């Protein structure tokens, strides 16, 4: 059985038709194998694939970090991975999972910013369109991502991007091209992931540096799943049902710690056009 979510198809802006359909009827599902479906792109001796291709680890030390990318690029889809982040004092360490184009930078970005042992990780998200980012939203997670694996998802279709953590929506980015806000919908993207030293900015604006006595730092990835469209008629919108909207509001009220649209020093013009649900 596929996962059921609400799909909204619009014949006009004034006559929405809501239909409940099953994702499996629209998506070609691929449980990825790291041996078969990704390439280690840097830090080859700091990356390891095991468990018959189901587990990939990336390690950072003073010499190098590491990263991988999917062999294929995708135009729209649903991309899941389970991650376990490095334990202990990880201040300055950045662990990532994201989609990005090969040229004319467009990106849907999840970066996990490490912290001191007793302080929580920060999930830093961003959307780059037409080579411009600066659309940051940050969240404190409601669990310790160092203790166990948790699922992180990017859902991307022509009219909406949704980021999920353990199937709970944390960020929505709608297509607002009609009012002049760029949206990534023409260039295929590859899945990428990495671990690297971001001590100049990652923890408390760079005030807390990486403690190399804690190295090596190892991030683990498993159960990478890629679902892409397998028929020409991709739904016009794929959004959240009532329960999903309620969860999104809960995340914003209790776990959002930064939103570029609410930054008084920035006042991005595009934010006046955003209706996030």
Catalytic residue among 9, 82, 103, 111: 111
**Burial bucket for residue 212 (CB in 10 Å: 0-12, 13-18, 19+):** middle
Q: In what order do the strands lie in the sheet with 237-238?
A: 16-22, 4-10, 237-238
Q: Express each pLDDT in 35-83 by its tens digit.
A: 999 999 999 999 999 999 999 999 999 999 999 999 999 999 999 999 9
Predicted TM-score (pTM) of this structure? 0.87
Catalytic residue among 3, 9, 82, 107: 107
Please confirm, yes or no, whether 111 is among the known catalytic residues. Answer: yes
Please confirm, yes or no, whether 214 is among the known catalytic residues. Answer: no
Residue 23: pLDDT above 70?
A: no
Q: Express each pLDDT in 197-239 by its tens digit.
A: 998 887 878 778 999 999 999 999 999 999 987 544 455 456 7
Residue 8: pLDDT above 70?
A: no
């Amino acid at each position: 059985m596929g996962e059921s979510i609400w799909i909204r198809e619009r014949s006009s802006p004034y006559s929405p038709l809501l239909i409940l359909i099953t994702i499996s009827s629209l998506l070609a599902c691929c449980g990825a194998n790291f041996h078969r479906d990704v390439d280690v792109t840097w830090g080859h001796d700091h990356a390891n694939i095991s468990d018959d291709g189901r587990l990939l680890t990336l390690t950072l030390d003073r010499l190098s970090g590491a990263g991988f990318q999917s062999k294929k690029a995708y135009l729209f889809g649903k991309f899941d991975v389970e991650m376990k982040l490095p334990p202990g004092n990880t201040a300055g360490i950045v662990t990532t999972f994201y989609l990005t184009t090969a040229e004319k930078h467009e990106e849907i970005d999840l970066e996990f910013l490490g912290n001191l042992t007793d302080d929580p990780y920060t999930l830093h998200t961003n959307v780059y369109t037409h080579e411009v980012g600066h659309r940051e939203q940050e969240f404190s997670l409601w669990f310790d991502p160092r203790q166990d694996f948790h699922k992180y998802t990017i859902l991307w279709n022509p009219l909406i991007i949704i980021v999920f953590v353990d199937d709970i929506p944390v960020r929505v980015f709608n297509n607002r091209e009609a009012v002049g806000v760029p949206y990534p919908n023409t260039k295929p993207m590859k899945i990428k992931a990495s671990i690297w030293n971001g001590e100049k900015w990652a923890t408390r604006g760079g005030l807390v540096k990486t403690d190399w006595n804690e190295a090596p730092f190892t991030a683990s990835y498993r159960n990478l799943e890629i679902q892409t469209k397998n028929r020409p008629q991709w739904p016009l919108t794929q959004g959240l049902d009532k329960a999903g909207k309620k969860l999104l509001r809960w995340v914003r009220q209790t776990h959002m710690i930064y939103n570029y649209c609410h930054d008084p020093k920035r006042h991005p013009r595009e934010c006046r056009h955003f209706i996030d649900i």
